[in-house]
Amino acid sequence: MPGHGVPRGPEARAAAPTRPAQLGRRAVLAGAAGLALGASVCACGTAPPRNAMGSAPPSPAGLPRPAAWRPDPSDVRPEVKLRAVRLVEALGRWRDGGGGVAKARERVAALGLPPALAGQAGPLLSGADAAVVEVTDAQYGGILAGSASVLVVCRQWTRTGGGPVVAGGTTVDVRLTAGAPRWSVGELHPAEPGPAAGSLPEPARQVLGDARIRLPAAAAADIRGGGVHASVLRAMLRLAERYRMDVSVVRSGHPLNVFGTGRPSDHPPGRAFDVWRIDGRAVVDRATPRALVEAFMRDAAAAGSYNVGGPLLPAGAGAGRQFFTDDTHHDHVHVGFTG
């Protein structure tokens, strides 16, 4: 991986950038964490479903059987992401008779986390008889030495009585703090996209209908709400002419400020979007060609972004210009705009 320069721009995190000399050590640590998590650790969505005991988790009758999420072995602090994801999975999945906040508190307590977190679950909890949840991505909203924000993007299916299965989903900003022997969760901030707009501009309708732009539930709701800037929508459409891209977050579900700072993020005002997979290849996966990621970052800048962050600094791109890199952005490409 190319050397990491000093991160610049509003979305650059407070964390120190990763230096080339650190990469070997990070790979060793990540590999060790992967072994600790089990031999089945692999990229998101490709591992067979397993619970803590190593067997396939049961699924309520009539609902899908989604695979359990696993961090990529080359992730930065994979155990932190896994801690956040397991909480979201516990909150958003229950069998008949397991609905409601009281039962959710029991599931949270079983993870060794504060039961009161169940009261912050938002749309993950409902009055349905049964539910299952699938985490499609977990990316950092920020990662520092003692604290982290993990944006858990998920789909959820619920069933009530003999009625139809209802599909939904959300993105949850999970806030964690370092601890022994494991990191703990202090807060949950589920996405709040707001209602759909009465009418949408043509670029918004095109983005929603473009099969090459894969949007999770919260991001699609952001666009339907009409609060995403035209510069973002135009850039998505331009990039989709060349790439298939999986978006992780647009407005809702992202920290209001750049993590670890008091600077406002470009995401909540609808001036940014993050991409976690390009042409079916996860950005975090070390097997993904770096040339692909670099080309996407350059094309994002050419599409008008003033602030492109990712796992590398494109060759010839000096610090303080359009590009930046740091540990927070090792797992996605951030594309920001001034308006």
Q: Residue 321 has what pLDDT?
A: 74
Same domain, 85 and 221: no
Indicate whether 165 belongs to any domain. yes
With 0-12 / 13-18 / 19 or more C-beta atoms within 10 angstroms meaning exposed / middle / buried, residue 37 is middle
pLDDT at 8 exceeding the cut of 90? no
DSSP SS3 for 320: coil
For the residues 52-69, what does the mean pLDDT come to?
Answer: 69
CA distance 109 to 229: 41
pLDDT at 2 exceeding the cut of 80? no
Same domain, 185 and 207: no
What is 172-192 written as a DSSP string?
Answer: EEEEEE--SSS-EEEEEEE--
Rg (CA), the chain: 19
Same domain, 145 and 229: no
Nearest to 146, CA basis, from 178, 112, 194: 178
Residue ranges making up the domain that contains 310: 202-336
5 vs 331, more confident:
331
pLDDT per position as a tens digit, 293-336: 999 999 999 999 999 999 999 988 765 679 999 999 999 999 99
Indicate whether 166 belongs to any domain. yes
Q: Name residue 219's amino acid.
A: A
Same domain, 122 and 214: no
Indicate whether 3 belongs to any domain. no
Q: Are 93 and 76 in contact (CB under 8 A)?
A: no
Same domain, 120 and 44: yes
pLDDT per position as a tens digit, 201-217: 999 999 999 999 999 99
171 vs 37, more confident:
171
Least confident window among 33-42, 65-74, 134-143, 241-250: 33-42
Q: Which of left, alpha, beta for 213 (phi over 0: left; psi -120 to 50: alpha)?
A: beta
pLDDT per position as a tens digit, 81-120: 999 999 999 999 999 989 999 999 999 999 999 999 999 9
Same domain, 166 and 218: no
Nearest to 84, CA basis, from 7, 20, 172: 172
Nearest to 42, CA basis, from 338, 286, 240: 286
pLDDT at 9 exceeding the cut of 80? no
pLDDT at 37 exceeding the cut of 50? no
For the residues 262-290, what does the mean pLDDT come to?
Answer: 97
Angle in degrees, CA 48, 54, 57, rounded to 5: 65
- Report the number of distinct structural domains present in the chain: 2
Predicted confidence band at 26 (pLDDT cuts at 50, 70, 90)? very low
pLDDT per position as a tens digit, 158-186: 999 889 999 999 999 999 999 999 999 99
| 3-state DSSP helix/strand/coil % of the chain, to nearest 5 | 30, 20, 50
Same domain, 215 and 158: no
DSSP SS3 for 74: coil
Sort strands 213-214 and 245-249 into parallel, antiparallel or unpaired: parallel
Nearest to 90, CA basis, from 125, 47, 141: 125
Q: Residue 10 has what pLDDT?
A: 65
Indicate whether 10 belongs to any domain. no
Q: Residue 22 has what pLDDT?
A: 34
CA distance 126 to 101: 9
Q: Residue 220 has what pLDDT?
A: 98
Indicate whether 109 belongs to any domain. yes
User: Would you give the distance in Å from CA 251 to the centre of its chain?
Assistant: 12
